[in-house]
Structure 1
Amino acid sequence: MKLYIPENYDPILSVRETQEAIKYIRDTFQKELGKVLGLSRISAPLFVEKSSGLNDNLNGIERPVSFDMKELPNDEIEVVQSLAKWKRLALKKYGFKMHEGLYTNMNAIRRDEEVDNTHSCYVDQWDWEKIISKEERTIDVLKQTVQDIFKVIKHMEHEVWYKYPNAVNHLPNKIHFITTQELEDKYPTLTPKERENAISKELGCVFIMKIGEPLHSGIPHDGRAPDYDDWSLNGDIFFWHETLQCGLELSSMGIRVDENAIVEQCKKSDCLNRLELPYHKMVVNKELPYTIGGGIGQSRLCMLLLNKAHVGEVQASIWPQEMIDECEKHKIHIL
């Protein structure tokens, strides 16, 4: 069990007040995000058929939660691990046009997650996806979208301050950009996680770009599935969390693979067999729109804005009893 206990922690808000703040943050943020990025709210599935190829295999080692279904005896049903592929298909299916997009609630179960202050077996995030042109598959478009998301998050700080002035966490005024290779060059003796913490502490907020390819050391910064993000056009948003003394990953996003990138990345990942799945065939055959998209953690946003010490303070999930008891001793009230 990994657990960090900050000294003299004060949650400031009661459990009831925290619940009210969570609702306010979630309601307000999704409206602002939709307005700034031009997104429409839609419904999304909790599970998909394994044979569709729509589920995300994340780093390739996480086991999806699966079950059978009486009416589909010949197929295995999997709880989604993310909606990265499903969203792109939905944009086509629902007739979205150029520069239109969608956002939705994504709820997932990560059964192999090692729980700690920021990780849970339950994932709740806003998943979003937007159609772009092939010519817009560039670093500049990626960076501008990241800037837009940062502005919404920064705006939320001010909104929360009006209602909860004593509880709000004050965020940096700027987001910085760095590639994973630049990060390795800057901190060659640190592990990838230590690099994330070091750069987040130095800059306050940073978008770490180009995740998936092996670096000069021969090791990727982090794992990425080969069939949704283009590894040269993706990244993660980190904020420095002073209470926890760590970088808090708030969002993973990127420009999605085109017909060339999906083949190249599947080849590098030794999974060319995936190209026979329905979704992958559509990408290769250019039957799906070119898109940019990502996920933004709902509980993590609440955790960041309210300066909470544990994600369990803003999310109802399951935790080891030992962790619950230790947290309670230090005014960390797990829901």
Structure 2
Amino acid sequence: MAKLFIPKNYDPLLDLKQTEHAIKTVKDHFQTALSAELRLRRVTAPLFVMKGTGINDDLNGTERPVSFPIKEFKDQEAEVVHSLAKWKRMMLADYDIDKGFGLYTDMNAIRPDEELSNIHSLYVDQWDWERHIGEENYNLDYLKYIVSKIYEVMKRTEFVVYERYPQIKPILPETMTFIHAQDLLTQYPDLTPKEREDAIAKKHKAVFVIGIGSKLSNGEKHDGRAPDYDDWSTETAKGYQGLNGDILVWNPVLERSFEISSMGIRVSPAALEKQLEIEDCSERKELLFHKRLIDGELPLSIGGGIGQSRLCMFFLRKAHIGEIQSSIWPDEMRQECKTNNIVLV
């Protein structure tokens, strides 16, 4: 049970019935406020896509998608989505959404390679969103501007929870702290990337770590990121690479940093070709999504995913994601949680 963290003297602030009501409160308010703040239209999304089209998210490039043959398609295979990072960008074009506007959707995924823990489940639910931008927005300042707008929605949602459940006190700071992964490495050279995130999140409580996917001065990446959706190779004013990042908050229940969102400005055709070459996968240029992007059929955009269960976990001060969503857990994990007052649904 090394992957299970048990908070000392854990006592849930909400019972099971209250938790279900509170989950609806968080989700209803957050998605409505996010839609208004970023001017996003809700659309319906697929649960699976055809294999070999390049539409599915490759995440770190090692995770296996759930796949199945389709009888009506002569046993061609479809894949359950990992996320909708690329699909959303195609929809911006297909729905002909104007610059400054975008879309969001409920994304449900199955990730069988996840290491099950307090925060990782086989089932992933998030709001996937994408917004059409212009060339003038293809920069770090605009990325920070959008991150700040999302953070305002988080703070408003936290207040709504407090109004309904006053035992849950607001803890988010007034402003988000921005730091590049290279500066994080410089500050904490002897720590692992995860330990660096813990240190900076504990210090500032809400942080956006910029530059996920490019190599740092030590020759290593802060974390993996697929080469064909976020732009992690374009240099910023300081000479660092990356127009993407992760929103982290300090989780006082788990006593660690807590990722809420992965997001970024999406690759231009030039950045796509560059990153495919860096990752030695230029053959992807022949796939449907990549062809459409290189041929100029897809707009420039910014987008990301915001974990629904993660967000509820944080706002409701839960110790395990299984207190928010129904999934499959090892028997020994269920028993250990039950023994320590962690009720898995």
Q: Is the shorter-chain TM-score for this pair beyond 0.5, marking a shared fold?
A: yes
User: When the two structures are superposed, what TM-score results if normalisation uses the length of structure 1?
Assistant: 0.98
Q: CA deviation at 1:75?
A: 2.4
Offset of residue 103 of structure 1: 0.5
The equivalent residue for 1:234 is 244
Q: Residue in 2 aligned with 1:53?
A: 54
Q: Which residue of 1 aligns with 2:168?
A: 167
Listed one character per residue, the Cα deviations across residues 246-273 of structure 1 (whole Å, up to 9, x for unaligned) are 0000000000000110000000001000
* Residues 169 and 304 in structure 1, CA contact (< 8 A), matched pair in contact too: no
Matching of residue 88 in structure 1 with residue 89 in structure 2 = yes
Could you say which residue in structure 1 is the equivalent of 2:278? Answer: 268
Per the normalisation by structure 2, the TM-score is: 0.96
What's the counterpart of residue 253 of structure 2?
Answer: 243
Superposed displacement of residue 39, structure 1? 0.4
Residue deviations 1:115-167 (CA, integer Å, cap 9, x gap): 11111111000000000002211101100000000000000111011111113
Amino acid in structure 1 at the alignment position of 2:227: P
Coordinate RMSD, CA, aligned: 0.9
- Determine the C-alpha separation between the residues in 1 that align with 2:13 and 2:164: 13
- Post-superposition shift, 1:331? 0.9
The structural deviation recorded for 1:51 is: 2.1
In the comparison of the two structures, how many residue pairs are matched?
A: 335
Equivalent position to 2:311, from 301, 305, 321 = 301
Matched residue, 1:31: 32
Is residue 219 of structure 1 aligned with residue 220 of structure 2? Answer: yes
Q: In 1, Cα distance between the equivalents of 2:141 and 2:46?
A: 32
Q: Output aligned runs, 1:51-200, within 5 Å.
A: 51-73=52-74, 75-200=76-201
Matched letter for residue 211 of structure 2: K
1:228-255 CA-partner distances (Å, limit 9, x unpaired)? 0001100000000011110000000000
Question: Whole-Å Cα distance in 2 between the matches of residues 148 and 265 of structure 1?
Answer: 28
In percent, how many aligned pairs have the same letter? 54
Letter in structure 1 aligned against 2:274: E
Q: Deviations over 1:171-211 (max 9, x none)?
A: 22221000111111111111111111111001100000011
Query: Is 1:325 paired with 2:325?
Result: no
Q: Does structure 2 retain, via aligned residues, the 8 Å contact 1:169–1:307?
A: no
Q: Residue 16 of structure 2 aligns with which residue?
A: 15
- Alignment partner of 1:314 is 2:315: no
Residue 229 of structure 1 contacts residue 254 of structure 1 at CA under 8 Å; is this kept in 2?
yes
Q: CA deviation at 1:285?
A: 1.5
SS of the residue aligned with 2:269?
Answer: coil
AA partner of residue 80 (structure 2): V
Matching residue's letter, 1:147: S
The equivalent of 1:209 in structure 2 is 210
CA distance in 1, matches of 2:276, 2:225: 11
User: Contact between 1:12 and 1:167, CA under 8 Å: does it hold in 2?
Assistant: yes
What letter matches 1:289 in structure 2? P
Deviation, structure 1 residue 284: 1.1
Q: Is the 8 A contact 2:13 2:316 kept in 1?
A: no
Mark the runs of 5 or more structure 2 residues left unpaired by the alignment: 233-241
Alpha-carbon shift at residue 12 of structure 1 (Å) = 1.9
Amino acid at match of 2:46: P
- The residue identity in structure 1 corresponding to 2:96 is G
Q: Could you tell me how far 1:95 is from its partner in structure 2? A: 1.5
The 8 Å contact of residues 13 and 317 in structure 2, kept in 1 or not, is answered as no
8 Å Cα contact 1:208/1:235 also seen in 2: yes
* CA distance in 2 between partners of 1:70 and 1:37 (Å): 41
Unaligned runs of 5+ in 1: none
